[in-house]
Amino acid sequence: MLYKLSHIFLLFVLLIMFSSCQESTEAKYEPKYSDVPPFEKNVYIFGVHPLHNPKRLFEVYQPMIDFINTNLTGAELRLEASRNYPSYDKKLFARHFHFSLPNPYQTVTSLQHRYKVFGKMGDDENFRGIILVRKDSNIKSVNDLKGKNVSYPAPTALAATMMPQWFLYSHGLDINKDITNSYVGSQESSIMNVFLGKSIASSTWPPPWYAFIKERPEVAQQVMIKWETPPLPNNGLVVRDDVPKEVLEKVKAVIFSLHTHKKGQEILEAMELSQYEEASAETYAPVVEFLKKFESEVRPIRVSK
């Protein structure tokens, strides 16, 4: 009995000693910090206005962003899509994007928010509005749209909304009284609205139209281009004024040379585009004049700036 008690007492003493040793070891532990922080690339957000729905936009533009990134050192571009035009406008005018591809209206408006124009899409002849109707609709003239519903992507879409509305206005239609204007959120939605008969006509612009009917040829069998507008300068490339010059120069070098090699030509083909080209704010003087006329004679553009 005495042996058992002494054995228990010995175990108790050993446990206390082990616990004290462990506490002493833990008390002496200090985390080690490296004097050299882990390497992180500077990330620059590249926003593209809603040329397509977000899924399609990533399919078309991510290859260009990936290719640019292979030519950057210490920096990385990240593509960001927006749900719709109001969402994109809000982010652009809040300077959320470092680089962006806005439509010409958004391009000239971005200058008020300390962006600079450094380039644009080529192929200005493609930057025109097109108005679509079903082939079985019997629409012959602009007056036949009176009392009907017409769909557009968004109020601030220049080629796909404002230019077609100017066309209708210049051909005798009061778009604020004679028709119902439906802003449906994207180029694809506008096309589908006329295809499904929800609108008597719809508007878009050539690149998304031709890209869409490649994937949905049955749409082209039932829908046709009824009218086209004159062109304006194509979508711009803008950069925030605090982006380092060396980063901008590297991005420019890649984008403006895409048309000179096979990989770049494949990237451009998905965009229905032949090349990007250098530009400045002065390039968009015709857009500024158009917007003045549009707002004074047709309607407010209705976006907070």
Q: What is the pLDDT of residues 160-180, one digit of tens each?
A: 999 999 999 999 999 999 999
- pLDDT (0 to 100) of residue 201: 98
Confidence at residue 300, expressed as pLDDT on a 0 to 100 scale: 94
pLDDT surpassing 50 at residue 237: yes
Residue type, 232: L
pLDDT tens per residue across span 11-56? 444 444 444 444 443 333 333 333 334 445 799 999 999 988 899 8
Which class in CATH covers the domain with range 130-228?
alpha beta
What's the whole-number mean pLDDT along residues 113-125?
A: 98
What pLDDT is recorded for position 92?
97
Q: List all residues 6 or more positions away from 11 whose beta carbon is below 8 Å from its beta carbon.
A: none
Pick the CATH number of 42-123+233-297 from 1.10.3720.10, 3.40.250.10, 3.40.190.10, 3.30.70.260: 3.40.190.10
Report the percent of the chain where pLDDT is more than 90. 80
pLDDT band for position 218 (cuts 50, 70, 90): very high
* Residue ranges matching CATH 3.40.190.10 in the chain: 42-123+233-297, 130-228
Residue 302: predicted pLDDT: 61
pLDDT of residue 40: 54
Average pLDDT, the chain: 88
